[in-house]
Amino acid sequence: MIEVDSLTKQFGSKTAVDKLSFSVKKGEVLGFLGPNGAGKSTTMRMITGFFPPTSGDAKVCGISIVDRPTEAKKKIGYLPESAPLYRDMTVIGFLNFCASVRGLSGAFKKNAVERAIDTCFLESVAHQSIDTLSKGYRHRTCLAQALLHDPEVLILDEPTDGLDPNQKFEVRQLIKRLGKSKAILFSTHILEEVEAACTRAVIVDRGAIVADGTPDELIARSGTGSLTDLFRNLTTRDTGVKKEIAKPAPEKA
């Protein structure tokens, strides 16, 4: 469903993604793990056609995002990081608008909106202004727009970022359910989400894959039974603390 082949992205002299290759099959939920700045969002933006790759390609349902971007995008439901919302709209108004942008109309559009509202548990706020919603409900609304056209592939960038524990649990359970019939790629730096929602995970660091396997395989590889230990051993730890250069002591008069 998703085939990434030597995908590379350079910004000037900086290589953000370095010849990345992996695949996601139907019925698979792939967790895309890595520290901040590892290249997760950049990779997703290339797969969805938001960024053109410097080299390499990604195929969605066998369709090249480089050669046939419009066709490939029709197969994708995308939840970007900090997804935009029209806050003066109601939830149902926003979803109807997004459905129209997707080219849906008539009974098909009506059914698609109702299905997305039901799937994301938005019935109680469907006629409420988005501006009045909690962050959790706004997040669900963003996810609902990605599901409107019943895509075969879902690409979710940090889908639980900023949610409280109850909201995170609900979104993870939803991802697991959707993953039974779709190919799902979602990025996170929250390691507990691997065991909670993923059938497989890859760990990336500085734009390259450093580990790939099922949650059990990755935990076994750690040697300590801790995914956190494996993550810390394989990824660059950037604390943001600059080392001070020692200055020579002043000479005595």
Chain segment 11-31, per-residue pLDDT in tens: 999 999 999 999 999 999 999
140 has pLDDT over 50 = yes
246 has pLDDT over 50 = no
Instruction: For 1-75+152-163+175-237, give the CATH class.
Output: alpha beta
Task: Give the pLDDT confidence score for residue 139 in this predicted structure.
Answer: 86
Q: Cβ neighbours of residue 56 under 8 Å, at least 6 residues apart? A: 4, 5, 6, 7, 8, 19, 20, 21
Rounded CA gap, 83 and 226, in Å? 32
Query: Residue 205: enclosing H or E segment and its boundaries?
Result: strand 200-205
User: CB of 30 within 8 A of CB of 198?
Assistant: yes
pLDDT tens string 31-58: 999 988 899 999 999 999 999 999 999 9
User: CB of 204 within 8 A of CB of 210?
Assistant: yes
Query: Which residue in 227, 206, 224, 204 sits closest to 215, CA to CA?
Result: 227
Structural domain spans, the chain:
1-75+152-163+175-237, 82-150
Q: What is the pTM of this model?
A: 0.86
91 has pLDDT over 80 = yes
User: CB of 127 within 8 A of CB of 90?
Assistant: yes
Strand partners, 10: 15
